[in-house]
Structure formats: structure tokens, C-alpha cells
Amino acid sequence: MDLTFTPAEEEFRSELRSWLSAHIPQEWTRPGFWESLDDDESFRLRRDWERDKADAGFAGIQWPIEYGGRGGTPGMKAIYDEETVRAHAPRTVNPLGLAFLAPTVMAIGTEAQKKEIIGPLLRNEVIWCQGFSEPGAGSDLAALSTKGIRDGDDFVVNGQKVWTTNAVHGDKIFTMVRTEAGSAKHRGISMLLIDMDQPGVTARPLRQMSGASEFGEVFFDDARVPAVDCLGEIGDGWRTAMLLLSFERGASGISQYTEFRRQYDEIVAVARTLGRDTDPVIRNELARVLTELECLRLHSMHVLTQVEQGRDLGFEASMTKLQWSETFQDLWEVYDQILGADATLDTLPDGTDLRPLHAQAMWSRSVTIWGGSSQVQRTITAERVLGLPR
Amino acid sequence: MYFALTDTQREFDRAVRDYLAQRFDLAAVREVVESADESGGSEGSGDSDGAAGAERSAGSGGNPASLWAAAGEQGWLAVTVPEEYDGLGLGLVEAQVIARALGAGVAPGPWRGTVLAAEAIRLAGSDTQRATWLPRLAAGEVVGAFASRGSAADGLPAVEYGATADVVVAPAEDGVPGLVLITGASATPVGSYDGTTRLAGLTGGSAEVLPGATVEVARELADRATVLVAADLVGIAREALSRTVGYDREREQFGVPVGSFQAIKHALADLHVGVTMAEHAALYASYAVQEGLDGADLAVAVAKAKANDVALQATAAMIQYHGGIGYTWEHEAHFFYKRARRLAGQWGDLTVARERIAALTM
């Protein structure tokens, strides 16, 4: 057991910490600041800030320098995740590209793809969307019907995607397309990297229950994509997708812990304001959730250890997704319990603005659906980890 | 960052588990559970056929002699005793490894009490007390116990292996800091449906003060005891889950294995996540206490709360997902369930553990 980081990693921490404190305006850290902006304004501020961050050398911490990264260790990446959340850094504008596409390209992309995709992605010159879900294929991803028909060196793509994060701000989309006519389920699918800035692609925002429009719908109407822009082998897109999803599900527990723990403290403050902090039932409920949050922290240390040892977490990533998403949702259910009769009010009698907290409570309803619903993760865990029969 | 057992610790774990599997399996546990030694059973009566090499334990106070001898020989009792007192000089992390393995085997015997008594003497005893007791506790020549409730002055209820113990560590007086070593106490067996452990109430005997037993040391000893109980529960929970998964892979109903039904799959998947988290929590708590890390108190409460939770869930699920057979006396599920029920209440039940968490974070 050794829970410390190396001296080089700690040096990186202090370097990052001073850059963050100098480059995040005080105003941005005010509760509710980001919710007060419209989607376009929020996106623009975050995009510019992140470009500056990349210029300062704090992008792609683990990616090789030759592809525009920092060339750091998994430990540095964990420190980056922790410190950015601690400093109230704005959420990334390119989450899908950074967390899922980049590691997949590094693992199975061609040399040309690595060069073309990683650098511009890190500098946010190209914002990526993920085109997996369709109106008829959400959790049953293999039921997709978007088609790609070979035409010379290109595929011509027709179909529709939905629940696409950043649909209206996206420059490119990595998408699952059925490229073998008549193929069924997991066969004959390819992962195509499609330029969204072309006549055949239309994106439309979808308003969420929180009021924001972070995701949308994308329509392909004879959109064209060169066949060389296939990630992984043509027709082998299912395997590419599973690799990519394992990065999504294994996403950094350390940053989530840091963020959720802060939210726990905010919720405790609300309980105190309402005089509910001495209620033994509320105390019991908060302690129950805190137990799970601490387990998430320890689990992320376990995951980091595995990664540093060069082990592939594979289907174990489903456990990480279940732990963080269910705990996060649970935390906000306890928040509702604390508010009681005031559950839906915008402000408390003492003037406390509850809207930023409500936004999190609403968001918590989505996390057990996207990235593979909790039900899908449980089935994966039961069959692939525990070996129960299909 | 290295949050995991080392290779050596893993080997230690495997050695304990292998020994239990080969020399003290569930058939041997059953012999202990079914022996009515508190009413003076006959020692050495009958011979053992089912239990892989285990001897009859009747008359030994539920403390099987072969297992106890092995605990001494293999260093399970010497784990935290310093080398100068003939111990292994290892830490609470290694002790936690053994506790987890013993929980997985629902193994009887006064291992925890002996280790904790030695810890109390190591941390709070005089040089003479250390020299007198530590080498003998480490070797398994004497049995120790550590009372979780009551006081030397007012009596000690339901002490684990209180009747077998040669030396008992207990609070001197209720509500007053200070620990004492008790020898020669009178023991009255206490009935319990957890047949894997024997309990006795203790009164009288001669008490000797542990001079270094400050409030802080008593708190630390309680933390160590809590961690070892949590680890036992985690071992129980993992084993209960593994056995249930194994059974449900094979057991057919409606022409298919019951493990193919989603209702069962999802429940077992949730348990797998829960047990894994409890394993992390017990490991971390043992390390945090051993190293005196900030937040060790929170880590201990988290480990106990989570261990209680999953052990009760996993052992109840073991009964449910074995169907009717899981409810029978012949099946081993009840060993796990009953031991979990008892240990969940020791050194902080769920309410106590959660209130401590609330107090530390609110």
C-alpha cells in the first residue's frame, strides 16, 4: 500500500494549481454562475478557457507529446481530475472526444488518425459528438438502423441519432453505422468519423427536464464520409464501440468524488439552514450516502492502481459506472428529503438560492440512463464479471 | 499510488484460505456448531469422517484444537506482535487479511480476541506485561479476549470465548477511561444462535491496570477491533455471494438456470458492487489506522457501516437465492447469516456507525 504520488506528480499538482487559480475568474466559481448563462454563451466561455489551458500545457495529460499531449502518468491525470474540480474549473466542452474518442484512437487508430484527431481535439479546434443512440436503439445499441452505403471511396450515410451531447456545437461525430446491408445485431457495423459541417447533416437541440439543451438530434441525409475515416476495421464497429464504452464507464472516479463530496457539504449546509441537521433520520440518510461516496473514492484509488499496473479493467468498468451514478442520484434524493415541503422552491426563506442545487438534482435523473443504463450495467456485471448464464 | 494488497500479503491470504479449505472446511465448522460443549460435552468422543481432517471439538469450548494449533504455528496469532516478543511484527493490514479469510470460512476460534488482547498489551502494557503475555499469546499458548461491553467492576456480558480465555482485556469501570487485564474470572456460558462463536459472561478474577491505556489508546484499540470485525463481515459477504452465484449458475427451474433470470442477475450484480466497495473500505480502514492517517476515524466508521450493510444483504440473499434448501439446517447458509447478524452488532451497529459518520462530516 502506498497512497502517495511521486515527487514529480506532486510538482505537477502545484504547477497546475497555480495556473488554475490565476486563470479562473472569481465570478465563475459563484454557485449558479454557469446555470445563469445561455447554452451558447456558456459554451463560448468554456471553449476559450480550455484553449488557453491547452496552450499552457494542461491538455491531454496522459497523451504522448508527439500527438499534442503532456506525456504524463496516470497519477498526473488523477491529480488533474482532482485539482480541476477542486478549483471549480468549468466543465469541458469536449467531454466525449477527450474521455472516450481519444483513448480509443490511441488504442486502435491508424497513425494518420492519431495525428489528425488528438492534437486538434485537445486544443478544442474540433468538438466531437457521439452518435450511438437512435430513436429505436438506446440501451439496445445493436438495434441501430442508420445505414452507410459504399460509393467509391466514400460511404453515403442516412439515418438519425438522438440524445447527442453537444449536437448543435459539434464539428464532427463518431457514429455507429450499419455498413453491411442486411446485417443484423452486432455484425456489419462500422464506427465512422463524420464531418458535421456538410449539407447532409442537420442538428436540432432537445430541451431537457433541467431546462438546458446540452443534447440534441442529428439527421443524416446522404451525408458523405471517406471510408478511411472509419475507426477500427470496417464492419468491426461493435468491438470499437465496446472498447470506447469501457472508457466511458470507467471514467474518473476521483473527479466525481471531489465534486460530489463538495455537493454533499452544500446539502449539509441546506440541512443546517432548515434546522434538519439534528434530525436522526436525516443524519442517518446523509451518513449512508457519505459511506458510498467514500467507497467511490477508494474504488477510484483501486482503479488508478490497476491502470498504473497496466491492467485493463474491461467489464469491471460497469461497476465504476454503477457506483458513481447510483450514489450521485441517491445524494440528490436525500437532498429532496431534507427540503421536505420546500422541495421545489427557488429560494429558501433566508434567501438561499436553491436553483443551482435543483439543477444538479434534475441532472441526477439522467446519469443512470446515459452511457449505458444501470440496468444494462447490472446485466454486464452479472454475465461478464460473475459469469451468470445469459 | 498503490491501493491494493502486496504480493506477500496476497500469499498470506492464500495460505490462510488454503489451510481452512483443506483442514477446516464447512463440515468441520458444522461439527463445532453442533457440539454442545457449553453443557460439558465429552472431549474426543466419536471420530471424524466428513470433516477434512478436523477433530471433534466438543468439550473444547467451541475452540477446535487443531485449528488453534495451526493459528499459532502459521503466525496468525503472532501477526501484530513485535518481533522482540517472538511475533511477526506486521500491521493491521495483514491482520485484516487473516480476519477476512476467517470470516469467509466462518471459522470458529478465539483468533480475534487473542490478537486484540495482544494489541492492547503492546500499546498500553508495561514492559513486564508485554514480556509476560506477548510471546505466549503469539505462540497460541494462551488465549486472549477483548471485551466490547461492560466493565471489570460491573461484569462483562457475552465476551467472545470468555470461558476459554486465559487473559481478558476490559474497561476498568463503566464510563471511566482505563483498561485492565483480567485473569481467573468466573465464566458463565451465554447462549447465542451464532454457533460459530462461543460467548460467556465474566465476573470477578484479578484485575491489573494497563498503565498506558489513555482515552486515545482505548479509542485506537476500539478502532482496531472494529476494523477486524468489519473484515470478518466482508469475508462472510464475499463468500456468501460467491457460493450463491455458483449455485445459481447450475440450479435449473423452468428448464433454465435460475441465474439466467434478470431479477436474480441484477440483485447479485448489485451485491457484487456492494461487496467490492466493502472490501476497499475494510482494506483502507486497516491501513489508515495502522499508519495513523488523518480521517482514520471516518474510515473505520465507513468500513463498519458498509460491512454491516453488505454482510446482512449478502447472507440474506444467500438464503433467498438458494430457495428452500437455503433455509434448511443441513445447508451452510445459516452459518453465514447468523455470524453476520451477530458481528453486525459488534463494535458499532449500523445506527452507531452512521451516527459517527454524521458527526464527523456534518
Q: Give pLDDT tens digits for B288-321.
A: 999 999 999 999 999 999 999 999 999 999 999 9
Of B2, B248, B361, which has the smallest distance from its Cβ to A1's Cβ?
B2
Domain at B125, CATH number: 2.40.110
Residues A259 and A377 in one domain: yes
- State how many domains chain A has: 3
Residues B221 and B351 in one domain: yes
Q: Are A387 and B265 inside 8 Å of each other by CB?
A: no
Q: For residue B249, is it within any domain?
A: yes
- pLDDT on residue B288: 98
Q: Indicate if A308 belongs to the active site.
A: no
Q: Are A295 and B277 inside 8 Å of each other by CB?
A: yes
Which of B109, B143, B162 delimits the end of a domain? Answer: B109
Structural domain boundaries, residue A142 = 128-236
Residues B103 and B43 in one domain: yes
Active-site residue (options: A217, A248, A259, A316): A248
Tell me the three cell numbers of residue A126: 474540433
Residues B81 and B162 in one domain: no
Interface predicted TM-score (ipTM) of this complex, two decimals? 0.93
Residues A231 and A254 in one domain: no
Q: Is A298 on the interface with B (CB under 8 A)?
A: yes
Average pLDDT over residues B73-81: 96
Which of A236, A267, A287 delimits the end of a domain? Answer: A236
Residues A321 and A254 in one domain: yes
Q: For residue B114, is it within any domain?
A: no
A 315-344 residues inside an 8 A Cβ radius of B: 319, 322-323
Q: Is B263 on the interface with A (CB under 8 A)?
A: no
Residue B259 parent element (H or E): none
Domain at B355, CATH number: 1.20.140.10
pLDDT over 90, % of chain B: 88
Domain at B59, CATH number: 1.10.540
A 106-145 residues inside an 8 A Cβ radius of B: none
Residues B254 and B288 in one domain: yes
Tell me the three cell numbers of residue A282: 436525516
The 3-class secondary structure across chain A, one letter per residue, is CECCCCHHHHHHHHHHHHHHHHHCCHHHHCCCCHHHCCHHHHHHHHHHHHHHHHHCCCCCCCCCHHHCCCCCCHHHHHHHHHHHHHCCCCCCCCHHHHHHHHHHHHHHCCHHHHHHHHHHHHCCCCCEEEECCECCECCCHHHCCCEEEEECCEEEEEEEEEEEECCCCCCEEEEEEECCCCCCCCCCEEEEEEECCCCCEEEEEECCCCCCCCEEEEEEEEEEEEHHHEECCCCEHHHHHHHHHHHHHCCCHHHHHHHHHHHHHHHHHHHHHCCCCCCHHHHHHHHHHHHHHHHHHHHHHHHHHHHHCCCCCHHHHHHHHHHHHHHHHHHHHHHHHHHHHHCCCCECCCCCECHHHHHHHHHCCCCCCCCCCHHHHHHHHHHHHCCCCC
Residues B19 and B81 in one domain: yes
Structural domain boundaries, residue B350 = 216-361
Nearest 5°: the CA angle B306, B311, B314 is: 120
Q: Are B280 and A299 inside 8 Å of each other by CB?
A: yes
Residues B225 and B357 in one domain: yes
pLDDT values of chain A reduced to their tens digit, one per residue, 390 residues: 999 999 999 999 999 999 999 999 999 999 889 888 988 899 999 999 999 999 999 999 989 999 989 999 989 999 999 999 999 999 889 988 988 899 999 999 999 999 999 999 998 899 999 999 999 888 888 899 999 999 999 999 999 999 998 899 999 999 999 999 989 889 999 999 999 999 999 999 999 888 888 889 999 999 999 999 999 999 999 999 988 887 766 667 888 999 999 999 999 999 999 999 999 999 999 999 999 999 999 999 999 999 889 888 888 889 999 999 999 999 999 999 999 999 999 999 889 999 999 999 999 999 999 888 999 999 999 999 999 999
- State how many domains chain B has: 3
The per-residue DSSP string of B283-335 comes to HHHHHHHHHT-TTHHHHHHHHHHHHHHHHHHHHHHHHHTTGGGGGSSSSTHHH
Q: Are A299 and B276 inside 8 Å of each other by CB?
A: yes
Size of interface A-B (CB pairs under 8 A): 143
Measured between beta carbons, the chain A residues lying within 8 angstroms of B233 are none
Of A283, A389, A390, which has the smallest distance from its Cβ to B358's Cβ?
A283
Global pTM? Answer: 0.93
Residues B74 and B152 in one domain: no
Which of B109, B142, B175 delimits the end of a domain? Answer: B109
Q: Are B361 and A286 inside 8 Å of each other by CB?
A: yes
Which of B191, B213, B235 delimits the end of a domain? Answer: B213
Tell me the three cell numbers of residue B118: 495482544
Q: Are A291 and B302 inside 8 Å of each other by CB?
A: yes
